[in-house]
Chains A and B, each alone.
Chain A
Amino acid sequence: MPVLGLIAIGAGLYGLAACGVGIGMGISTAHAVDALARQPEASGKINSTLMIGMIMMETVAIYGLLVSILSIFILGGRV
């Protein structure tokens, strides 16, 4: 079944979406911590802005996960 193997590799490659999102989350959290250390009184605003950014990034990871799930279960089911 070489086709199934190719599908598995393709589904695994969508993990790269999580890779990019991880880097982005690390950068944004690092800057949020910097901002908190500089201005602890602005923690509410910083937290909510960080949250919005996190949601946007998480969407990309979820899209990757969705495509990965679909390629395993839908394409894999057809082989």
Chain B
Amino acid sequence: MPEVSIMPEPFRIGAVNVGQSVIIAWMVIAALIALMIIARVRINRFSGAPKGFQALCELIVGGAHDFAASRLGAEHAQSKAAAEIAAPAVLTLMVYVFMTTVIELFGLPPATDDINCTLALGLCAFIMVNVTAVRVKGIKGRALAWTKPMAGVAPIRILTDLITPFSMAVRLFANVLAGGVIMKLLYAVAPVLVPAALGAYFNVLHVAIQTFVFGLLPLMYIGEAVE
């Protein structure tokens, strides 16, 4: 039977246990920072007509803004402002989630296979949702949104909001863990050819779907908060 554990894998530096997912995450962050520096240097040479690398960059950034605007609705000025604030943060979250999870394809353990990592991401998304809502509607408007449709539901609505980081964390963690367990079982049963075919789903497409969901959920919560 393959070994499955929900406890974070230990990784010791000296006497301190920093956790394996932290190391993997920092490797991914280092790669992403290098990519961003290259992009920043090349932005200076961007011209009016995009092609090649510039077209790719504009596709990704423009896609994130369109995604946020389409989810929040661009009719009202408030939701438009919220989409402008949220789009870069959502893109950051999605890139991080995708890269730390798809790294499983290269034989490294994914960082999102650790409940600490996903809970941190969930809390980041929670803070992002509330900061966006407060910046768009003000603290008073954010508090008043809880009293709709009547004042009596406020405790339940506050509780629903407070649960969202844990819900997002457990969702991502369970999806990545389930994908990993299924792949481990497959490697144990049929080590040749079959994992290659199913790995395309569990290590790439499944990850892409989870990334999309992880970007969609904060936008949904923002939409609820600013409507």
Interface residues of A (CB under 8 A from B): 48, 51-52, 55, 59, 62-63, 65-66, 69-70, 73-74, 76
- In the complex, are the beta carbons of A69 and B167 less than 8 A apart? no
Q: Judge whether B170 is part of the interface by a CB distance below 8 angstroms.
A: yes
Residue pairs across A and B with Cβ atoms less than 8 A apart, 20 shown, are A48-B71, A51-B216, A52-B220, A55-B213, A55-B217, A59-B171, A62-B171, A62-B175, A62-B178, A63-B174, A66-B177, A66-B178, A69-B4, A69-B177, A69-B178, A70-B6, A73-B1, A73-B4, A74-B5, A76-B1
Interface residues of B (CB under 8 A from A): 1, 4-6, 70-71, 167, 170-171, 173-175, 177-178, 181, 213, 216-217, 220
Chain B residues within 8 Å of A70, by CB: 6
CA distance A55 to B140 in the complex (A): 31
CA distance A70 to B1 in the complex (A): 14
CA distance A76 to B167 in the complex (A): 26
Chain A residues within 8 Å of B1, by CB: 73, 76
Q: A73-B4, A74-B6 are in contact. Are A63 and B170 (CB under 8 A)?
A: yes
Q: A52-B220, A59-B167, A74-B6 are in contact. Are A66 and B174 (CB under 8 A)?
A: yes
CA distance A66 to B220 in the complex (A): 24
Chain A residues within 8 Å of B170, by CB: 63, 66
- In the complex, are the beta carbons of B216 and A55 less than 8 A apart? yes
In addition to A48-B71, A69-B4, 18 A-B residue pairs with Cβ atoms within 8 Å of each other are A51-B216, A59-B171, A62-B171, A63-B170, A65-B174, A65-B178, A66-B170, A66-B173, A66-B174, A66-B177, A66-B178, A69-B178, A69-B181, A73-B1, A73-B5, A74-B4, A74-B5, A76-B1
CA distance A62 to B170 in the complex (A): 9
Chain A residues within 8 Å of B173, by CB: 66
Chain B residues within 8 Å of A69, by CB: 4, 177-178, 181
B94 → chain A, closest Cβ, in Å? 15
Q: Which 9 A-B pairs have the closest CB atoms?
A: A73-B4, A66-B174, A62-B174, A65-B178, A55-B213, A59-B171, A69-B181, A62-B175, A70-B6
CA distance A59 to B167 in the complex (A): 9
B125 → chain A, closest Cβ, in Å? 15
Chain B residues within 8 Å of A66, by CB: 170, 173-174, 177-178
Chain A residues within 8 Å of B6, by CB: 70, 74
- In the complex, are the beta carbons of A52 and B216 less than 8 A apart? yes
Chain A residues within 8 Å of B178, by CB: 62, 65-66, 69
CA distance A48 to B71 in the complex (A): 9
Chain B residues within 8 Å of A74, by CB: 4-6
CA distance A65 to B213 in the complex (A): 18
Chain B residues within 8 Å of A76, by CB: 1
B73 → chain A, closest Cβ, in Å? 10
